[in-house]
Structure 1
Amino acid sequence: MKERVPPVLSDRPFLLLWLAQIISQTAQNAILYTLIIIVLGLTESTTSASVVVLSFVVPTAVFGLFAGILVDRWSKRRLLILTNAGRAVTAVAFFFAREHVGALYGVTVFFATFSQLFTTSNAASIPYMVSPKQLISANTLFSGGFTIAQIAGLIILGPAILTTAGPGVLFASAAGAFVVASLLARFLPYIGHAEGEEAHGTFPGRDELRGAVSEFAAALRSLRADPLSTMAMAHITMSSTLMLLFAILVPRYMQAILQVDADKAVTVFAPVAVGALIGLRAVPFVVGRLGKTRTVALGLFGLALCLLALGFVETIADVLERTERLNPFAEQGTDRVFGLSILVALTMAFAGPLGFAYAMLNTPAQTTLHERTPVEMRGRVIASQMVLANGVALIPLVVVGGIADLYGVSSVVLAIGLLLALGGALSLYVERRWLQQEGNQPPPSGGESAQRSRQQEAVPGSIDTT
């Protein structure tokens, strides 16, 4: 009889960690939305708004070199408490600096640093909270938490509070949310090795912090030694980069292709969020049937098809308009459905599957890293993952907009689709080579050896009051 795996949310420590993640990340996303709107209003310059994004991304790439050492050497629980408290302080600073652009940039650097350290600590804590058999479900909820926070912060609460109450109320509310998240982290159990004592955890010294670059290199060497871990890192980097690419290209796509105001993007691309939530729900089922690498490859191929469809959306709309029998949008000779043009309706139709496919990327890859990373290096590997993701993401922030201006946004979307299809094929090739080298044995999924290891690491049910 197959052993029943209990739901991960029935585990109180994981539930506290997950709630702290959703609450704090929702506040973070609402603040980022508000900062962009405030800076745009003060400067009337899209370049200045881009500086806000860079002020957030660059520190996460730089400080990530040190974050991994802090997470591995010091108390994860304390870091979760202090980083949320730090973000509460920066939210208050935003409140007083909201009319000064330079001050907003400066506070954003500190805000980004606390946020990067929180995300690393949060991700590194997950394997200590659940059993190996629950890891894929835990990472699904972890990814789903980020999606929920993005929807709530960027689409619902951020715009709603900013419009009705103003930036001051939003920053004050965000500070309160970070305080709540810090209190939730306070009730977490000790996170770490059974033989360790959190009270005796030592803060990394100067020599250790100076060696951050060599530690970063050691984490990368550890990943390169394992092809599946290297591929998982590439998948996560690809996922993060795609998110920024979408943020840059969607406004241009709205204006150049759909001929709709960019502020309508929330409505047009809302199906992406719905598809992503459905996809996250389906991830454990798909991984159970296909395996983690093939699930990611499926997601990459699905993204490629959706992006190719979006790149050719004008051609598809022309064909539908000229072929009455194939035009499901025509109504009494018009070219609109529910008041939407064919271009907008097609884009919304493709957006749902796009979100579903995107959901297939991060969770399986993150689970692979958790399963195959040495326990003592988890923090550094996760921090390295974020450094690479944010470092790579800087390139599209700088050049993709110019390329879209030169060659058109459709050409850029098509090129990204082709690159994703190539990435899916390469993923299957790497897995096949790995299976051949291992005698066609499937990649380990955190089996009994991993389970025994984690049972030795965890201290169940103990509440740390240090």
Structure 2
Amino acid sequence: MKNSFLKILSNTNFSRVWFSLILSLVSAYTLNFILIGKIFNNTQSSVAVAFFLFFYYLPTIILGPFVGVLIDNWNKRSIFAFSSLLQSLIVLSYALVKEKIWPLYAIVLFYSFCDELFYPSVGASLPSIVKKEQLPLANSLFLFTGQSAIVLGSFIGGLLLKFLGNSNFIFGIVSLLLLFSALISFSLPKEPFKSTKKIKIDLTDPLNISQTFDLPAFSHQLKEGYNFLRNEPKVLFPILLLAGLQILIGMALIIFPSLSSMLRIDFSDSSFLIIFPAILGAAIGTIIVQKRAKKIRKYIFILTGLYFSGVGIFILPILSFLFSKPIVFSLPILVGLGLAYIFMYVPLQTLIQEHTPFNIRGRVFGFLSTVVTLASAIPMLITTTLIDVFGVELILFILGGGILFLAVIAHSRYKAVLSINNNE
């Protein structure tokens, strides 16, 4: 594991993309932490915060179906660099609005538009810059980057607010981080990130959209991506499962306070007693997947992860009924849930990368990003209401049972989809 980690880090193209991603994600979550706090402090309204999140997700709804075509037609190195550069300028505009709230919604909208191109481009680039056998480790590192950035961004945001106070200084710091991300991206070579398509753009008459932008070619590429996904279950099924995983993560974040109460622990202790065991399980899962990836087929990992997560989620509320201190008996289950997540995420992401042709990869990962982002928004809209009506215990029972049912269906009907050859 150590040698594999050092080997992939010695790949300068991977290291630069990874570091650029770290700076981008930490910047985004630091900003979100600060802005959500600013909006709530000024309005004392959760609706105002919900509006902020709505505008953050809105670009996915607008650009979602088309972003993959753009990624396939533009050099991904340029997407990394110019997205970060634009965001570094957009962040500075936060300082201009002072205590006003409504301008923040427009600014976060433009900021999020840049993210719509950046993150799918990263996933689409991985198979071009790392070897096939390194994809599981690369995906594990990127997954940990995404999850850790949430914690690190919130932590940094809190520290900056505590010691700097004035958020305008913070916006300047975040802008510098994004500028550094852009400079790292500009240092990447062009060849591994080149576009596979080229839609012609004619600027002689910019008001004539059909002449300026080759709409027939754009439409053809859009249909090409749709037809590939529709006829390629080896790619579509993993994408749908990843969307399901994102729904689980979103629900976990929403029910976190209720889960702490169900396990009879103080919310202030929940980060250590709930999150830490899950992270420990994820670390163990990463080591297992990396060491056994060549010996155990991917569908075995995926189905094992489904069964583990279904059983674990189903048992958690039972423990709250049986024991006065259910957290003691829940710790192994929380470790198992973290392990199960890695067992599913890494092989699914690797399957998508291995079975997507180079010339269509941007459209596939654009679709993946859209589905996953929309899946993140679903829990925000429905979970709180369901918990208020039915209680967290019943929701966990239904959720665990549903995952077990999905595991049985996947085992019986989709085993052939997930196992393409002896290595999968």
Q: Same fold (TM over 0.5)?
A: yes
TM-score by length of 1: 0.79
Which residue number in structure 2 is paired with residue 140 of structure 1? 140
1:423 to 406, 416, 421: 406
Tell me, yes or no, if structure 1 residue 305 matches structure 2 residue 291.
Answer: no
- What amino acid is the match of 1:221? N
Unpaired runs of at least 5, structure 1: 319-341, 446-466
Q: Call closer, same or farther: CA 1:134–1:88 in 2, change over 3 Å.
A: same
Which residue number in structure 2 is paired with residue 18 of structure 1? 18
Which residue number in structure 2 is paired with residue 459 of structure 1? none
What is the aligned length? 410
Cα distance, 1:129 vs. partner?
0.5
Which residue number in structure 2 is paired with residue 160 of structure 1? 159
Q: Counterparts of 2:89 and 2:381 in 1: how far apart (Å)? A: 31
Q: Call closer, same or farther: CA 1:45–1:132 in 2, change over 3 Å.
A: same
Tell me, yes or no, if structure 1 residue 284 matches structure 2 residue 263.
Answer: no
- What amino acid is the match of 1:74? W
2:247 to 231, 237, 241: 241
* 3-state secondary structure, aligned to 1:69: helix
Tell me, yes or no, if structure 1 residue 442 matches structure 2 residue 421.
Answer: yes
Which residue number in structure 2 is paired with residue 112 of structure 1? 112
Which residue number in structure 1 is paired with residue 395 of structure 2? 412
Q: Which moved more, 1:409-418 or 1:364-373?
A: 409-418
Q: Call closer, same or farther: CA 1:62–1:148 in 2, change over 3 Å.
A: same
Q: Call closer, same or farther: CA 1:252–1:101 in 2, change over 3 Å.
A: farther
Cα distance, 1:153 vs. partner?
1.5
Cα distance, 1:98 vs. partner?
5.4
Tell me, yes or no, if structure 1 residue 270 matches structure 2 residue 282.
Answer: no
Mapped contact 2:199–2:218 kept (Cα < 8 A):
no
Q: Counterparts of 2:398 and 2:219 in 1: how far apart (Å)? A: 34
Which residue number in structure 2 is paired with residue 338 of structure 1? none
Q: Counterparts of 1:66 and 1:33 in 2: how far apart (Å)? A: 29
Cα distance, 1:386 vs. partner?
1.5
Mapped contact 2:264–2:326 kept (Cα < 8 A):
no
1:226 to 222, 232, 254: 232
Mapped contact 2:30–2:153 kept (Cα < 8 A):
yes
Q: Call closer, same or farther: CA 1:106–1:211 in 2, change over 3 Å.
A: farther
Q: Call closer, same or farther: CA 1:225–1:35 in 2, change over 3 Å.
A: same
Deviations 1:342-381, CA, capped at 9 Å, x for gaps: 2444555543332222122222111111111121110011
Q: Counterparts of 2:263 and 2:6 in 1: how far apart (Å)? A: 47
Q: Call closer, same or farther: CA 1:219–1:305 in 2, change over 3 Å.
A: same
Mapped contact 1:227–1:430 kept (Cα < 8 A):
no
Q: Counterparts of 2:370 and 2:416 in 1: how far apart (Å)? A: 28
- What amino acid is the match of 2:105? Y
In the TM superposition, 1:26-37 aligns within 5 A as 26-37=26-37
Which residue number in structure 1 is paired with residue 40 of structure 2? 40
Which residue number in structure 1 is paired with residue 206 of structure 2? none
In the TM superposition, 1:44-59 aligns within 5 A as 44-59=44-59
Tell me, yes or no, if structure 1 residue 377 matches structure 2 residue 376.
Answer: no
Cα distance, 1:403 vs. partner?
1.2
Tell me, yes or no, if structure 1 residue 80 matches structure 2 residue 80.
Answer: yes
Cα distance, 1:183 vs. partner?
1.0
Q: Which moved more, 1:89-98 or 1:410-419?
A: 89-98
Cα distance, 1:281 vs. partner?
3.3
- What amino acid is the match of 2:159? A
Q: Counterparts of 1:348 and 1:41 in 2: how far apart (Å)? A: 35
Q: Call closer, same or farther: CA 1:276–1:71 in 2, change over 3 Å.
A: same
Unpaired runs of at least 5, structure 2: 203-208
- What amino acid is the match of 1:387? T
Q: Call closer, same or farther: CA 1:169–1:266 in 2, change over 3 Å.
A: farther
Mapped contact 1:302–1:357 kept (Cα < 8 A):
yes
- What amino acid is the match of 2:175? A
Deviations 1:288-318, CA, capped at 9 Å, x for gaps: 3322222122222222222123222311324
- What amino acid is the match of 1:316? L
Mapped contact 2:199–2:217 kept (Cα < 8 A):
no
* 3-state secondary structure, aligned to 1:269: helix
Identity %, equivalent residues: 21
Q: Call closer, same or farther: CA 1:293–1:94 in 2, change over 3 Å.
A: farther
- RMSD over aligned CA atoms reads 2.9
Which residue number in structure 1 is paired with residue 345 of structure 2? 362
* 3-state secondary structure, aligned to 1:70: helix
